[in-house]
Amino acid sequence: MSDAESPSDDFEPIEVFPDEETPDLRPGADDCYKCSTCDTNCPVAEVDDDFPGPKFQGPEQWRLKRKEDASVDDSISKCSNCMRCDSACPSDVGLSQMHNTARAEYVEEELSKTSLTYWRNRILANYRTSAFLASKVPRIANFAMNFGPARWAMEKTLGVTSEREFPEFATETFREWWERQGGADGSRERAREARERRGEDVDADKRVAYFHGCYANYNTPEVAKSLVRVFEHFGYELVVPEQRCSGTPMFANGMLDDAERHAEVNVSSMGDLIEQGYDAIASCTSCSMALRQEYPELFDIDGIEDVAENTWEALEYLRVQEDLSGELAGAEVEDEHLASLAYHAPCHARNQGLDGQALELFDDLAGVDAEDVGDSCSGISGTYGWKEEKYETSMKIGEEMFDHMEDAEGEVGMTECPTCAMQMEHGTGYEIRHPLEVVAAALT
Amino acid sequence: MGTRTEVLVIGGGSTGCGVVRDLARRGVDTTLVEKGTLTNGTTGRMHGLLHSGGRYAVSDQASARECIEENRVLRDIAGHCVEETGGLFVKRPEDDEEYFQEKLQGCRDCDIPAEVLTGAEAREREPYLAKDVEKAIAVPDAAVDPFRLCVANAVDAENHGARVETHAEVTDLLVEGGEIVGAEVTHESGKGPREHGTPGEVEEIYADHVVNAAGAWAGRIGDHADLDVAVRPSKGVMTVMNTRQVDTVVNRCRPKGDADIIVPHETACILGTTDEEVGDPEDYPEEEWEVDLVIDTLSELVPILQEARTLRSFWGVRPLYEPPGTGTQDPTDITRDYFTLDHEERDAVPGMTSIVGGKLTTYRMMAESITDHVCEKLGVSATCDTADAPLPGSERPGDLEAAMERFGLRSPVARRSAQRLGSRTEDVLASCDPNPVVCSCEGVTRAEVRDAIDDSGTDLNAVRIRTRASMGNCQGGRCAHRMAAELHPEHDEATARAALDELWAERWKGQRHALWGEQLSQAMLNRAIHGATMNRDNDPARTDDAVDWDAFDGGRSDAGEGEVGEEGIHGD
């Protein structure tokens, strides 16, 4: 026998264990030949000598495990789920899948369900629930969440760092605004007008389902509004289906059951639309990453592959479907604020091969000068940097990015990821914008 | 200038180690000599199955009964060497139903607990079993670590006053007046634990009785006194897979055949085997078709094996024996039973008894019966207690869990160490601080490596079999040199280098049979690290020139402050 030709792609650990909660990932350890490239690309390992790194967390730990073993090493909670190891690996080892699964097993088997850490993590991971409540009374929430004594108490009892400012809740959520704009019906009309204006077939089949994620809905509706304006400009009809959290913060906290409940809703509503010919788009790179990669790796939900295959990051979609760079090359941005931008590529954008796209797009855009601040990780990684015990690590990782931002020409930052934006703002005091806002400023 | 001992045991495999332990515990002054490391011959080249007896339940019920009895004994006395995996005899559609029923009945006749599982139930236990496996018989097979088992026997023997010499080859038998009175032994590097570079010496060891437990080499020993011990060595291949595709021993339920067993062993699975008679136990062809055969055939039971990564393959030789005149043609028909050849009765040459045949599972029982035989000759009346006395490492089964809790090691690493060390865990792990991981594939820490070095000198292959360091998926690529570094400062650079070369050569030997797919990438990475980065393929230290140490700078004078010392770092 010889398997010199690469092994078939049929093997899918989840299919082997249809009734098991956690897949057996030991066979995946076969592909790791210990080159350690993952370790050299891990931002946590770079600043924390006690962290054994992705190679140990993933293939080594899985290989050392026996099926009945429960003890996953507790260092797994030091992994921030940036997923850089995935793209670093030359042999396609499913490192983040191994980490996510190990973390879930650790939380399930070894973290006390009555501990404050568990509940702190659970509250942080279920940001959508808190945001939903806060958005009902945004002004009070904004005051209360950043009220000094309350924050002191949160740090002391729950271990949520008081160093950071909670993001502001918008006084009107994106979905409220969307309804005010007439929802899907309004969008259809505006899209038809745009197609007519552009000289395209008025009845063209240009339909997308927008996965806005929690943050664009509750905190930065201006990003979501920009997306709507840009897509309608190109003649796309949008729908904003029912959706829950993408699950990213839950993966990172080992709360796979929570994540699966949310994923089921998302896969079902996005799946229905995809069946009707829609494509799914997201403005948050962690959300698109979850739908595209993490869902099919971790869950066995009907229709999950279809959703994964038809999900796109918003600008990526337009670059493929439309002459986005052509239109941008002929456009100009007059907003002084956007004249000079310090751009940071989020790790999850990097993993989808999207790290260069914003810079490329804005190269020929008059009035905008976007500068890359390097390939370091911002360090916040969603809920990671919010934990009191991780705050320092998170800031150490971010240091390189802060320095490069300050070194860059612009005083305004730009990134696709909402938590990277938090970290950029926290570390430099800069205002942070989303590339979609720049595109919207140029085209609409 | 000879030395004296009551009994000289030749051979450091399971039989020899079992015999020396039993004799020592009965108060007999005993010396064991082994030409390589312990387990160097057949024992270290087996698949690690602790038989339930199910395998012999149709063909050889006497053996089956012995197996189940000893299986139970070893779980008691050698808990840290045995992993209770359970075993399955699985039946595919093309396998004979009648044989399945015979197997089941055979197990019941021999008092082997046996339970019939449906295909679905079997797959619930082992999800990677082929979808068309129809049913299975579950039996109490287990996995045993032959290295750990032999070392524990030898250590117990030493604790009871025996002398154990490895790398001590018998180069002649001492015969006086038609009687064997001892052996001439050539030490590779002097007496005691092996040290590379120390000159060898020849020692004449006189004994009241000699036990020839050299297994497939027993005939060679006999030759020294013109005794005809007709061992028929039969080779078999074993292929090591990178991960545990199964956690249960999987046997194919059909009459004897090649390639019908998968044994989970520590972090790996071992596939076996073939059965081919060879002329010389040390020089026989290691053929690729044998590797292909085991992978292809066993993939019928566990299809994922077809695309899994193969780490290496190794061959062992069975010391098969048949009494003269049986004339069996096919080696698979030769009995696996053992024979005691008292050369006084058989050849009228007193002073030596040869042991041939047998299998690892019943090594203790064999040792007991041989020891009884020798004791009778010597007039020793002490009785055997090896079935009840735990081996070193297995005295206090509860210690394992407690010790695992105590050490600040990464959990899977601590658990692995504790499983290897058993009740010695605390003593060994507490001996070293800091205690970093030396071999990350197998989770072996510095403490274990140093403990093994204390025991076996500069022989890194002996360290390997005691710890499993360098037996994982990089096959020593990332740890062989770290293991060698642990020899310093007790041993000098040249000694460490010689020890590293020897280990590296041994690791490379088996990998030659696995150079495709991921293991080929691994080999290339290993070559890049060792050949290029460490310059071991063109090493100035082994060319005629001495190393020009002055060409190196003094390094940083104060690493803590991160400043470059006065010597500076040239051409950064």
Name all contacts of B526-530 with Cβ < 8 Å and 24+ positions apart. B526/B474, B526/B475, B526/B476, B526/B477, B529/B477, B529/B478, B530/B477, B530/B480, B530/B481, B530/B504
Mutation for B interface: A64, A65, A69, most B CBs within 10 A: A64
Cβ-Cβ contacts under 8 Å for A165 (sequence gap 6 or more): A146, A426
Which ipTM score applies to this complex?
0.85
Query: What are the start and end residues of each CATH 3.50.50.60 domain in chain B?
Result: 3-42+147-230+335-378
Residues B496-546: pLDDT tens digits? 999 999 999 999 999 999 999 889 999 999 999 998 888 887 766 566 666
Phi, psi of A271 (to 5 degrees): -60, -45
**Closest CB to B244 among A8, A66, A75:** A66
**Residue range B78-94: mean pLDDT, rounded:** 95
Token pair 């931008």 is found at A341
CB contact under 8 A, A65 and B413: no
Radius of gyration of chain A, Cα coordinates, nearest whole angstrom: 22
Check residue A27 and give its pLDDT: 85
Q: What are the b/e assignments for A72-107, b being 16+ CB within 10 Å? A: bbebbbbbbbbbbbbbbbeeebbbbbbbbbbbbbbb
B258 vs A439, B274, B337, B434, CA distance in Å?
68, 5, 19, 48
Give the least confident one: B242-246, B247-251, B421-425.
Answer: B421-425
Residues B319-343: pLDDT tens digits? 888 777 777 777 777 777 889 999 9
Question: Sorting pLDDT into bands at 50, 70 and 90, what band is B308?
Answer: very high
**Residue range A46-59: mean pLDDT, rounded:** 94
Check residue A157 and give its pLDDT: 87
Residues of A in contact with B477 (CB under 8 A): 34
Question: Sorting pLDDT into bands at 50, 70 and 90, what band is A18?
Answer: very low
**Closest CB to A34 among B247, B306, B473:** B473
Check residue B542 and give its pLDDT: 63
CA-nearest residue to B439 within chain A is A60
The CA distance from A338 to B73, in Å, is 79
Please answer whether residues A26 and A65 qualify as being in contact, where contact means their C-beta atoms are separated by less than 8 angstroms.
yes
Check residue A2 and give its pLDDT: 41
CB contact under 8 A, B128 and A16: yes
Please answer whether residues B514 and B521 qualify as being in contact, where contact means their C-beta atoms are separated by less than 8 angstroms.
no
Using omega within 30 degrees of 0 as the cis cutoff, is the peptide bond preceding B15 cis? no
Q: B468 pLDDT exceeds 60?
A: yes
CB contact under 8 A, A33 and B473: yes
Cβ-Cβ contacts under 8 Å for B528 (sequence gap 6 or more): none
Check residue A70 and give its pLDDT: 65
CB contact B517 to A (< 8 Å): yes
Residue among A55, A62, A63 at smallest CA distance from A79: A55
Secondary element (H or E) of residue B152 = helix B146-159
Check residue B329 and give its pLDDT: 76
Give the least confident one: A87-96, B32-41, B425-434, B538-547.
Answer: B538-547
Reported pTM: 0.87
Q: Which CATH superfamily is domain B3-42+147-230+335-378 in?
A: FAD/NAD(P)-binding domain (3.50.50.60)
Token pair 């658990």 is found at B415
Token pair 């962290």 is found at A51
Cβ-Cβ contacts under 8 Å for A275 (sequence gap 6 or more): A303, A306
Residue among B172, B171, B182 at smallest CA distance from B8: B182
Residue among B510, B294, B271, B522 at smallest CA distance from A1: B294
DSSP state of B513: G
Q: A436 pLDDT exceeds 90?
A: yes
Please answer whether residues B316 and B236 qualify as being in contact, where contact means their C-beta atoms are separated by less than 8 angstroms.
yes
**Cα of A221 vs its chain's centroid, Å:** 16
Residue ranges per structural domain of chain A: 36-67+76-110, 116-158, 174-321, 332-443
Structure tokens at A36: 């350690």
The CA distance from A357 to B532, in Å, is 38
Using omega within 30 degrees of 0 as the cis cutoff, is the peptide bond preceding A173 cis? no
Structure tokens at B428: 């060994």
Mutation for A interface: B248, B271, B310, B440, most A CBs within 10 A: B440
Check residue B571 and give its pLDDT: 36
The nearest CA of chain A is from the CA of B287 a distance in Å of 13
Check residue A23 and give its pLDDT: 66
CB contact B297 to A (< 8 Å): no
CA-nearest residue to A75 within chain B is B410
Give the least confident one: A12-16, A30-34, A195-199, A407-411.
Answer: A12-16
**Residue range A261-284: mean pLDDT, rounded:** 97
Mutation for B interface: A5, A11, A66, most B CBs within 10 A: A66
Q: A195 pLDDT exceeds 90?
A: yes
Cβ-Cβ contacts under 8 Å for A418 (sequence gap 6 or more): A167, A213, A215, A216, A219, A220, A284
Check residue B412 and give its pLDDT: 84
Give the least confident one: A71-80, A309-318, B226-235, B535-544.
Answer: B535-544
The nearest CA of chain A is from the CA of B55 a distance in Å of 25
Name all contacts of B283-287 with Cβ < 8 Å and 24+ positions apart. B284/B233, B284/B235, B284/B315, B284/B317, B286/B237, B286/B313, B286/B315, B286/B513
Q: B570 pLDDT exceeds 50?
A: no
Q: A373 pLDDT exceeds 60?
A: yes
The CA distance from A321 to A301, in Å, is 29
Q: A194 pLDDT exceeds 90?
A: yes
The nearest CA of chain B is from the CA of A4 a distance in Å of 5
Q: Which CATH superfamily is domain B83-143+233-318 in?
A: D-Amino Acid Oxidase, subunit A, domain 2 (3.30.9.10)
Question: Sorting pLDDT into bands at 50, 70 and 90, what band is A15?
Answer: very low
Which class for B227: exposed (0-12), middle (13-18), buried (19 or more C-beta within 10 A)?
A: buried
Amino acid symbol at B480: A
CB contact under 8 A, A4 and B516: yes
Give the least confident one: A138-147, A170-179, B472-481.
Answer: A138-147
Query: What are the start and end residues of each CATH 3.30.9.10 domain in chain B?
Result: 83-143+233-318
| Average of per-residue pLDDT values in chain A | 92
The CA distance from A106 to A340, in Å, is 45
A350 vs A409, A435, B235, CA distance in Å?
23, 15, 53
Q: CA angle, B6 as apex, B5 and B11 as ends, to 5°? A: 75
Please answer whether residues A432 and A413 qualify as being in contact, where contact means their C-beta atoms are separated by less than 8 angstroms.
yes
Check residue B151 and give its pLDDT: 94
Residues B349-384: pLDDT tens digits? 999 999 998 899 999 999 999 999 999 999 999 999
Radius of gyration of chain B, Cα coordinates, nearest whole angstrom: 25
Check residue A154 and give its pLDDT: 86
Please answer whether residues A366 and A333 qualify as being in contact, where contact means their C-beta atoms are separated by less than 8 angstroms.
yes
SS3 helix, strand, coil % of chain B, rounded to 5? Answer: 40, 20, 40
Check residue A6 and give its pLDDT: 45
Residues B162-204: pLDDT tens digits? 999 999 999 999 999 999 999 999 999 999 889 998 899 999 9
Structure tokens at B204: 């004449």
Which class for B439: exposed (0-12), middle (13-18), buried (19 or more C-beta within 10 A)?
A: buried
Q: A87 pLDDT exceeds 80?
A: yes
Question: Sorting pLDDT into bands at 50, 70 and 90, what band is B563?
Answer: very low
Interface of chain A against chain B, CB under 8 Å? Answer: 1-4, 7-8, 11, 16-17, 20, 24, 26-27, 29-35, 52, 55-56, 60-61, 63-69, 71-75, 91
Question: Cβ of B287: how many Cβ atoms within 10 Å?
Answer: 15
Please answer whether residues A85 and A104 qualify as being in contact, where contact means their C-beta atoms are separated by less than 8 angstroms.
no
CB contact under 8 A, A73 and B410: yes
Q: B569 pLDDT exceeds 50?
A: no
Residue among B174, B181, B215 at smallest CA distance from B40: B215
Check residue B413 and give its pLDDT: 87
Please answer whether residues B316 and B235 qualify as being in contact, where contact means their C-beta atoms are separated by less than 8 angstroms.
yes
Q: A382 pLDDT exceeds 90?
A: yes
| Average of per-residue pLDDT values in chain B | 91
How many residue pairs bridge chain A and chain B with CB atoms within 8 Å of each other?
101
- CATH of region A332-443: 3.40.50
CB contact B405 to A (< 8 Å): no
Q: A275 pLDDT exceeds 50?
A: yes
The CA distance from B511 to B534, in Å, is 20
Structure tokens at A315: 């600008």
Q: A175 pLDDT exceeds 70?
A: yes
Check residue A390 and give its pLDDT: 96
CB contact under 8 A, A3 and B244: no
The CA distance from B204 to B450, in Å, is 32
Greater model confidence, B278 or B546: B278
Question: Sorting pLDDT into bands at 50, 70 and 90, what band is A13?
Answer: very low
Starting from the edge strand earliest in sequence, which strands make up the sheet with B82-83, in order?
A: B49-50, B142-144, B82-83
- Report helix angle B399-406 to B411-421, nearest 10: 150
Where do runs of H (alpha helix) occur along B192-317? 218-223, 288-299
